[in-house]
Chains A and B, each alone.
Chain A
Amino acid sequence: MNYIFHILIMINIYVILTVSTNLLVGMTNLLSLGQAAFYGIGAYLAVFALMVLKLPLIPVIILVMIGTALFSLIIAYPSLRLKGDYFVLATLGFQLIVFTILYNLVSVTRGPYGIPGIPAPKLFGVMQISGLVPFLILSLILAIITIFVFYKLVHTPFGRALKGLRDDEIAISSLGRNVTVFKIWAFVISSAFIGIAGFIYAAYVSYIDPTSFNLDEAIFILAAVLIGGTGNIKGPVVGAIFVVVLPELLRFVGFPDSVAANLRQIVYGMSLIVLMLYRPQGIAGEYRLQ
């Protein structure tokens, strides 16, 4: 049972990651390779809020969201002036920089040693959230809030403008819409929610080190979004479930862990290739990446 709870918590974390990444990739057509950096920034900010500031749950979440959003603004402004592939490269550069800083700034982040013993967050300063079931409930609530917010956003005039931007940047600016402002909004909102995922991960695992937030992870998040499908909310949710559950299924089939880990990478790669060939919008998505 504990095992299933653990899987469910991981699914919730990845749902938050993929649903927020979808706002960039699927709704605004901005392919970002820097999502794991914001995931990491969220996690380290959460550690700071929990261990140094000793804040209770809700202030921690607010601080993480605002902090991650501010970091994303710093990267958004210069990189959003770039178009297409150059934007992807800029986010890749940002991802590498953040990872290097987390890894080498030992005096602050303890670098490769990681930060152990992250305390459980307290609700209203009294109720300690620790153990599987409370974390499952917390992560589920946060995932549902994320899904709700992004579902609402997509179905407002703001979401419509993002869809227009994704379809045709020239047309949208010729209709009097400021393309850069929309892109910055998408970037900042997406990052703020990714920060929440970082918080849940840090608090749940109670140990973080920079390797959880490296380029592999960034590609993994992107792959989850693309496999599940972009452009709606259903797709990224399916993608998150797929990438979390698949390795567990492989384990049940009877492969030893050492083989399953490698096999998992191959299966992800294969599913991406097959999907791009036969179903470019992903398993449950509605938008084909251009």
Chain B
Amino acid sequence: MNDIILQIESIKKSFVRNIINIRGEQEDERFYIIDDLDLLIPQGKITALIGGNGAGKTTLFNIISNFIKADSGDVLYKKNDSLMSIIGLPTFKITRMGIGRMFQDDHIFPNMSVLENMLLADNDKFGETPFISLLKPKQNRNIEKERIEKAQHIFANLFGKSNPLWDKKDDLAKSLSFGQQRLLGLTRLFMGNYKLVLLDEPTAGVNPQIIQQALGIIRRLVTENEVTVFLIEHNMKVVLELADFCSFMSHGKITAFGTPEDVIGNDEVRKTYLGI
């Protein structure tokens, strides 16, 4: 087995939901969306997470990056060749340790230009404190120039010499088409110095051409930047084409793990998720 970059250990997360019981009374019921979930993410590989709507996939991502607190359990992340617990650390610290995130609804900055979106994603935060930004203008200018070159280089590398996103670098991000916003969200990940990225449905709702571009970008994250990818995906074609491993989530647990072919061939997955 490969090295493990992320180890998820018996995570539990419950919500209280208000239901009307059989006698017509209102009643609070504790509902476990994630129930004692264990999962290992192999380093340098692409692992897909599949499962029905509401299975808790996005909740799991939110627990890893600490937008939501788990009831119990632990998340261990490989840092300098040893696993350390990252559960409960603030989101920004988790990101600084090298865990990037792309959201289902992109979360790009709509009122900022395409270029500003890229520059703000840089892992070097120099100049982002007021005194340094005012008192060291020369150093600031140089680093800003390097940032812009870095962004330009990333765009050229991903999309070729004449690329639509770089041509629109001064346009507001909200003026981009949905597909282009998605590509910007993915491209932004190259600015950070990530070891692991969590992608929440990177191919949802975009046309086949953009899907192919997105897949190309994700592969390059792995091959060129040695990033590990953990992605939620509903498109089985994409899972088969892209992923090295696949895990199936159901009833708050991982009930199947293996190569995509194995998992998609699994009886339970076929019956409960794929409906075939």
Contacts and interface: CB of A to CB of B under 8 A. Distances in A.
Contacts of B120: 160-161, 164, 172, 175
Interface string B87-111: 0001111011000110100011111
A251 interface: no
A167 B128 contact: no
Interface in B127-145: 127-130, 133-134, 140, 144
Contacts of B133: 153, 156-159
Contacts of B128: 157-158, 160-161, 177, 182
Interface in B13-66: 65
B109 A171 contact: yes
A93 B65 CA distance: 34
Range of interface residues on A (Cβ < 8 Å): 20 to 34
Interface in A161-218: 161, 163-164, 166-168, 170-179, 182, 185, 189
Contacts of B126: 157
A133 B119 CA distance: 46
Contacts of B103: 170-171, 174
Interface residues of B, number: 34
Contacts of B93: 176
Interface in B155-198: 188, 192
B134 A179 contact: no
A116 to B, nearest CB: 37
A149 interface: yes
Given A158-B127, A158-B129, A176-B95, A163 B90 contact: no
B127 A171 contact: no
B168 to A, nearest CB: 17
A285 to B, nearest CB: 12
Contacts of A171: 103, 107-109
Contacts of B92: 173, 176-179
B192 to A, nearest CB: 7
B236 interface: no
B140 A168 contact: no
B134 A156 contact: yes
Nearest to B121: A175
A152 to B, nearest CB: 6
B213 interface: no
B129 A163 contact: no
A174 B67 CA distance: 9
Ranked 6 nearest A-B pairs via Cβ: A156-B133, A157-B127, A176-B95, A171-B107, A167-B109, A158-B133
29 contacts: A152-B134, A153-B130, A156-B130, A157-B140, A158-B127, A158-B133, A161-B120, A163-B112, A163-B116, A164-B112, A164-B120, A167-B111, A168-B109, A170-B67, A171-B108, A173-B90, A174-B95, A174-B101, A174-B103, A174-B107, A175-B188, A175-B192, A176-B92, A176-B125, A177-B92, A177-B128, A178-B90, A178-B92, A182-B128
Interface of B: 65, 67, 90-93, 95-96, 100-101, 103, 107-112, 116, 119-121, 123, 125-130, 133-134, 140, 144, 188, 192
Interface of A: 149, 152-153, 156-161, 163-164, 166-168, 170-179, 182, 185, 189, 287
Given A163-B116, A175-B95, A177-B128, 13 more contacts: A153-B130, A156-B127, A157-B140, A163-B109, A168-B107, A171-B107, A174-B65, A174-B103, A176-B96, A176-B125, A178-B92, A185-B129, A185-B130
